[in-house]
Amino acid sequence: MTVHKLRHLGWLLTGLLLWFGCAPGDSERPVPLQAREGVIDLREWNFAKHSPVELQGEWAFYWKRLLTPDSLRQVGAAPVYVDFPALWSGLAIEGKPIPSQGYGTYHLSLLIGAHSLPLALEVPDYYTSYALWINDSLVARNGMPGIDRVSTTPHWLPQTVAINLLPGHNEIVLQIANFHHSKGGGREAILLGSEAQLTRKRETEAALDFFLAGTLIMGGLFFLGLYLFGQRERAIIYFSLFSIVYSYRVLGFGSYFLHSLLPQLSWGLTIRLEYLTLYASAA
């Protein structure tokens, strides 16, 4: 196989990567509703007709405090209101920037109308651990938030969790702690929608990622065999190694489906593999 033909295959693979990366999810995009001073009003939101809504805007924030729903009711200090999602490096309290390493609690009051559909949350990964309550129920967690590096366990795994929201007033409490990464806080909003919508979205993303990873691995092994038993062209072995290395990033980055398959993998190992494969695939 000539380098010219291999270049065409490379462009074809690049086109597939771009196509899958740009493949649309739901055709109807969420209307950008905003929380104000820790309250978001979704009483007019029709979950049967509309796409999932992002729980973004001004959340109440308690820096240097890990609060549960019970302790939040007893807290005496007034919260500050900050934009969420946002990295901590972009936040300031009383004019003072907060560091990327630390811990805090977010709180959002959610007003919702009567509904009959089962609902769910799509919770992304945060830097680098979190615990999430709906009313008094712990519904999702990544790792273990703590007040220092020893008591904090980092983990990254986006989740889709079924929840029970009551008509009227509901409370969301989110603890985030980070002592293991240069970034703290979060970049992506929590999505609230029907359980069927969010489950279908997650399953579609998983199917695309596994298909793409399998294609990359099979292609990489094919060209590796071609190099070992046939033409010893450097372009062939480079293309083979790129395909195999990049297949890890498809499953081990973004949606982190590899973490759900191998939950025993340590966060430290996976973050090193994530950055190592980034540099290796770009080299």
Q: 74-128: per-residue pLDDT in tens?
A: 887 789 999 999 999 989 998 899 999 999 999 999 999 988 789 999 999 999 9
Q: What token pair was written down for 203?
A: 């399953």
Using CB atoms within 10 Å of the CB of residue 148, give its burial: 0 to 12 exposed, 13 to 18 middle, 19+ buried: exposed
pLDDT tier for residue 17 given thresholds of 50, 70 and 90: low
Using CB atoms within 10 Å of the CB of residue 207, give its burial: 0 to 12 exposed, 13 to 18 middle, 19+ buried: exposed
Do 262 and 273 form a contact (C-beta atoms < 8 A)? no
Percent share of the chain, pLDDT over 70? 88
With a CB cutoff of 8 Å and minimum separation 6, the contacts of 234 are none
Going along the chain from its start, the domains and CATH numbers come out as 3-23+201-282 (no CATH), 39-194 (2.60.120.260)
